[in-house]
């Protein structure tokens, strides 16, 4: 098991997933999914499990991919539909629109909080010359980071809007993380990935990044995260130390 350290003599940038790593929004996402899926599943299957189903099939994936993956696991097929569907319609797009509506209503009402340990880590990394990026599959990634008051701690944000514009595949494909590294003019081996979801950790491993750190919150299984590609697993980023400095010529 690797020591929980980011060594800035070999790592020049850290790429952070947002939900469950930067912003305390994973529980809100899970609750919104349960609200939508339970209404749809009534009479079709057992209710959505807010822990197991969310972590296994939905967490970390683009919204529509999460719907396809979860329903596929239940042996349920629905039409794709279109972005013009009514929220809650029995289509992939309709369910996705309903989930987005429920989640964003929560955000508008209650706001978004950043994890204090993540904010502390971001400050330390930047003080030591490392560059940072927020990477999210969500179309609302930039809005959530902004709402949490931490946008200024990132050199750039790559989110679901970039994925849509560039036709990038979602996690577990590493395309979003690789795009962030490209914009920072760094090879993947010179950057670390921090994620809390199995697809994101798998993406970090597939992308050839210099370090993959998993945050195992809310009962996530450390063994599964390691099997997916995490070299370091912590329950909170306060457990992660930073060593060294990034030389000025590579910062």
Active site residues: 17, 19
Contact 6/240 with Cβ under 8 angstroms?
yes
CA 95 vs. chain centroid, Å, equals 20
Dihedral angle at the C-alpha atoms of 152, 155, 160, 163, nearest 10 degrees? 160
Tokens of 7: 């060594």
Query: Which value, in Å, is the radius of gyration of the alpha carbons in the chain?
Result: 18
Phi-psi label, residue 17: left if phi above 0, alpha if psi -120 to 50, beta otherwise: beta
Paired tokens of 249 = 């010529």
H-state helical runs in the chain: 26-41, 52-53, 63-73, 92-110, 116-127, 141-147, 160-166, 175-183, 198-206, 222-228
46 in Cβ contact with 61 (< 8 Å): no
């Amino acid at each position: 098991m690797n020591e929980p350290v980011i060594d800035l003599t070999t790592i020049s940038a850290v790429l952070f997933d947002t939900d469950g790593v930067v912003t305390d929004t994973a529980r809100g996402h899970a609750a919104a999914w349960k609200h939508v899926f339970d209404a749809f599943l009534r009479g079709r299957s057992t209710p959505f499990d807010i822990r197991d189903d969310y972590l296994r099939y939905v967490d970390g994936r683009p919204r529509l991919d999460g719907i396809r993956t979860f329903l596929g696991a239940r042996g349920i097929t629905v039409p794709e539909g279109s972005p013009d569907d009514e929220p809650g319609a029995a289509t992939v797009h309709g369910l996705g629109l309903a989930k987005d509506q429920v989640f964003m209503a929560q955000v508008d009402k209650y706001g978004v909080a950043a994890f204090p340990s993540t904010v502390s880590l971001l400050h330390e990394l930047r003080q030591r010359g490392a560059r940072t990026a927020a990477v999210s599959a969500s179309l609302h990634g930039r809005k959530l980071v902004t709402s949490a008051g931490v946008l200024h701690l990132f050199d750039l944000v790559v989110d679901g809007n970039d994925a849509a514009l560039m036709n990038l595949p979602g996690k577990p494909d590493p395309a979003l993380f690789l795009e962030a590294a490209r914009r920072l003019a760094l090879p993947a081996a010179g950057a670390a990935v921090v994620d809390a979801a199995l697809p994101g950790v798998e993406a970090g491993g597939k992308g050839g990044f210099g370090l993959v750190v998993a945050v195992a919150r809310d009962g996530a299984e450390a063994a599964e995260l390691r099997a997916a590609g995490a070299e370091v697993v912590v329950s909170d980023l306060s457990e992660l130390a930073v060593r060294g400095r990034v030389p000025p010529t590579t910062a």
